[in-house]
Amino acid sequence: MRKIRNIAMATTGLVVIAIAMPVTALHAQEVEGDEGTAIVVTGSRFGSRSAAESVVPIDRISADELARGGRTEIQDMLKVSVPSFSTPRPSASGVGDFTTPPTLRGLSTGQLLVLVDGKRRHSSGDLSTSNGIGRGDVAYDFNSIPSMALSGVEILRDGASAQYGSDAIAGVINLTLDRTTDIKARVLSGITKEGDGEFIDVAAGFGLPLAHSGLVRATLQYQNRGGTDRSSEDTRQQYFGTNSSGRPVAPSAFFGSGTGLTASNGVLDAREATIDRRTSRQGNSQFEMKSAFLNAELPTNNGNAAFYAFGGYSDLDGKTPYFFRRAGQDQTVRALHPDGFIPYGDIRLRNIAATGGVRGEDLLGFDWDISTGYGKSLIDNNTSNANNASYGLQSPTSAYLGSTRYDQWTTNLDFTRKFDVGDDTPLNLAFGAEYREETYRLIAGELVSYANGGVAIIDGPNAGRPAPVGFQPSPGISPLDATFGKRNSKAVYAELEKEFFGRLTLGGAVRHEDFSDFGGTTNYKVSGRLQVMQPLALRGSYSTGFRAPHLAQVFFSNSTINFINGAPVLVRNLPVDSEAAKLLGATDLRPEKSKNISAGFVFDSNGLVLTVDAYQIKLRDRIVQSTQFQSTALTTFLTANGIPNIGAASYLTNAVDTTTRGVDVTLSDKFDLGSLGELSVLLAANYNKTKFDKIAGTPAEIAALGITAPLFDLTQQVRISDSQPRSKVLLNLNWKSGDFSLGLTNTYYGKVSAVAFTSLTPAQIAAVTPGYDVTLVPVSSTSANSQVIQHFKGKIVTDIQVNYDFTPRITLSAGVNNLFDIYPTQNLRSTVASVAAGTNGSDNGGTLPYNAISPFGFNGMSFFASATLKF
């Protein structure tokens, strides 16, 4: 251990002195090319090869391709380039609004590994607790790296834990850095058709040559994006009504109850006729982002070694709106917010990363690479335009809720060598070792954010009763929840590859990794590629994989106020090792285990490249967020054990085993149109389906309280199996003639689904579901009520862009995203008929028409224009 740390410190010192750049054994200079002929380096330690020659499926998206479409975030760029890659557009999810959860091949965020130039990138430290995709998982902050700092992105669509370690179950995304010495600058701006969401993105990068063919390159980026809003008017009753005795009564939460569409609770307050009913916000959250990135290389005099380094800093200030609190709710201090309020999350998200090392040749015949990399995620949560009702008139309207800190330090030593074994091709050998340390810290907020101020509800029908405790929308982190956790892991790995007869390539990899908190795991991979004839090759692989629980999944704890069936409930997300979680049946988290198999073919002839790859991923002990257990018996039980005020609780658990099967297809070609120019075509598709092999039953501790809900209920099941598109198809056309080029992107996002209601009567179902695509699942064998799954139909989104090379150095671009102004299917809408049957729709009383699982968001048409300078 001490030797490893000394090596890491020495390497860091050398890199700082040398001002170096990333040139690793895994990643030589990339060469751009067409689909199939583009050179890729991910997935092998033995140098680069074309994507079509790769033993496993790899997509390469160049920097120019990423820049198409006027998008500012790398994830948005990728989802219109790679059909197996998906990401939703969350709303009101706090930090998740800015670290949207990426997924690959239908799996979850945590089963995807992100690299920068072949080195492991640190994740964020935020555990998603929102009711959307990525719940119970931790995402990467892709946007912290300026897109102009990249030469491209490589996506390995295959299990790779035997090569890269934990998390590489669905695949690997490798962000490759730009190593040119030219100067680039770009100004990009846009706005939606509705006149909101305006943004500006300014970026510049420049490289300087150093001695011995070295270089240093710097990239700066500034982004400012306004929020969007696609909410509907809030027709619910906002203020107290008055009963026949002249006493105040709580306002009705039903759609139309404040505007006369449906019955109110008591006589309406006169202010109901004048209040601005655009109370809610649903859409993209606004943010301002500043980022910088540096990469450098300095070879030695004799050229046998090179120092390298890369790293960056990003700073995001974001503002996300949460659910509106009406004036008549107990959560509102009416003297502070007489007309109700929207709490805003004021979030600061920073990332610091630095990697450096030395690589060289011919050390006892081996090429070698020693590196160390440090990454840190810093997240600070504040709330404004809110209150802590238990402080009454003394409550401030803003508060610091707490922070998370996540650190990752990884050190690698790698060796590669080609052995002459007496035929035309060498035996390739690679081996190495890795040491990684991780720490996680949850920092308490200020007292008023979580404490009980002791003031009862001041006015209204519930005056004198205990007020809700904690700041809205969610109490801050208390000192009891604050925690610190750490672990380390040590790994050794090896890889072999050999080509036989000029047609058959076989490879194998093995990795053993030992974690300080749960022990060791050994994983392996075998792969092969057979060139059957000149245009046709077969390829396949089999591997085992693993995913260690993220430290945030082990230690994170928070309280949220969720609206369950229209009522606000204090929900605790409990750490698995907490007393409360143990009382409710939680057990220590285990690592996920996977078995991946893929098989396919490549047809490559005269520029036409067709690839088809089928896959199966079996996951055991999948880490998921449990059901939100809620009952009076649970609250009473926890209170009796010294843990009061919990209305509902959940925790992370290894509750399910799943099997995901799918197929990826890509077809690309170029057509010479003579005097009319050149046309490039990419047709790509993904289909996947996840089924459950095992779902854990209700824990005995929960069942003893009379709760029959399973450990992983239907809401959570549908989120895993059907909330991402099972099918996605891309048709990208790019035409170029002279100084003009035109790009047309068509993306089909398949059907997605979500549980809209956990229990409705037959009469309510008859009132709320006509005209919608739903599936009914009985609540139980003894109940007439049903759970309602809503299906949101697939949609095609078309984007168009035109470019003009004003000079050889200046390119002007303009375009329209979502050309036909496509919106997703709306949530089950609240109507007068549904209220008559005793229920709102699933649209928060008519205010939030769209579901956050939409794979293409819900902003509609937008326009953009940009100017790019290169010299």
Tens of pLDDT, residues 325-337: 999 999 999 999 9
Cβ atoms of residues 617 and 544 within 8 Å: no
Secondary structure in 3-state letters for 63-107: HHHHHCCCCCCHHHHHHCCCCCEECCCCCCCHHHHCCCCCEECCC
Cβ atoms of residues 810 and 736 within 8 Å: no
Coil, strand or helix at 757: strand
pLDDT at position 10:
38
DSSP per residue over 215-246, as a string?
Answer: EEEEEEEEEEE----------S--S-EE-TTS
Domains of the chain: 2-234+278-341+352-392+402-751+793-818+856-870 (2.40.170.20)
Higher pLDDT residue, 708 or 567? 708
Cβ atoms of residues 849 and 263 within 8 Å: no
pLDDT digits (tens, 9 = 90+) for 155-181: 999 999 999 999 999 999 999 999 999
Place of tokens 């109490």: 475
pLDDT at position 29:
35
Structure token digits, residue 400: 């610091």
pLDDT at position 751:
97
H-helix or E-strand containing 526?
Answer: strand 519-531
Q: Is the dihedral of CA 188, 868, 222, 31 positive or negative?
A: positive
pLDDT at position 24:
33
Place of tokens 């902050």: 141
Q: pLDDT-derived band of residue 129, with 50, 70 and 90 as boundaries? A: confident
Q: pLDDT-derived band of residue 91, with 50, 70 and 90 as boundaries? A: confident
The backbone torsions φ and ψ at residue 679, rounded to the nearest 5 degrees and listed phi first, read: -120, 125
Cβ atoms of residues 82 and 172 within 8 Å: no
Q: pLDDT-derived band of residue 19, with 50, 70 and 90 as boundaries? A: very low
State yes or no: pLDDT of 595 exceeds 70. Answer: yes
Percent above pLDDT 70 for the chain: 93
37-41, 366-370, 545-549: least confident range: 37-41
Cβ atoms of residues 576 and 589 within 8 Å: yes
| Cα angle value 224/79/600 (rounded, 5°) | 160
Cβ atoms of residues 80 and 67 within 8 Å: no
Go through the chain and tell me how many residues it has. 871
Average pLDDT over residues 793-811: 95
pLDDT at position 43:
62
Q: CA 296, CA 23: separation in Å to the nearest integer?
A: 9
pLDDT at position 439:
97
DSSP at 689: E
State yes or no: pLDDT of 11 exceeds 70. Answer: no
Highest mean pLDDT among 1-15, 16-30, 124-138, 692-706: 692-706
CA 206 to chain centre: 30
State yes or no: pLDDT of 258 exceeds 70. Answer: yes
Higher pLDDT residue, 70 or 551? 551
Coil, strand or helix at 6: helix
State yes or no: pLDDT of 449 exceeds 50. Answer: yes
Average pLDDT over residues 57-69: 88
User: Which burial class, exposed, middle or buried, applies to 270 when counting CB atoms under 10 A from its CB (0-12, 13-18, 19+)?
Assistant: exposed
Q: pLDDT-derived band of residue 1, with 50, 70 and 90 as boundaries? A: very low
pLDDT at position 28:
33
Torsion (CA) 326, 331, 333, 338 in degrees, nearest 10? 0
Average pLDDT over residues 39-46: 66
Q: Is the dihedral of CA 460, 466, 471, 472 positive or negative?
A: negative
Q: pLDDT-derived band of residue 94, with 50, 70 and 90 as boundaries? A: confident
Question: Over the Cα atoms of the chain, what is R_g?
Answer: 28
Q: CA 842, CA 827: separation in Å to the nearest integer?
A: 6
Q: What is the overall mean pLDDT for the chain?
A: 90
Cβ atoms of residues 529 and 497 within 8 Å: no
> What global pTM score does this model have?
0.91
pLDDT at position 6:
41
pLDDT at position 709:
86
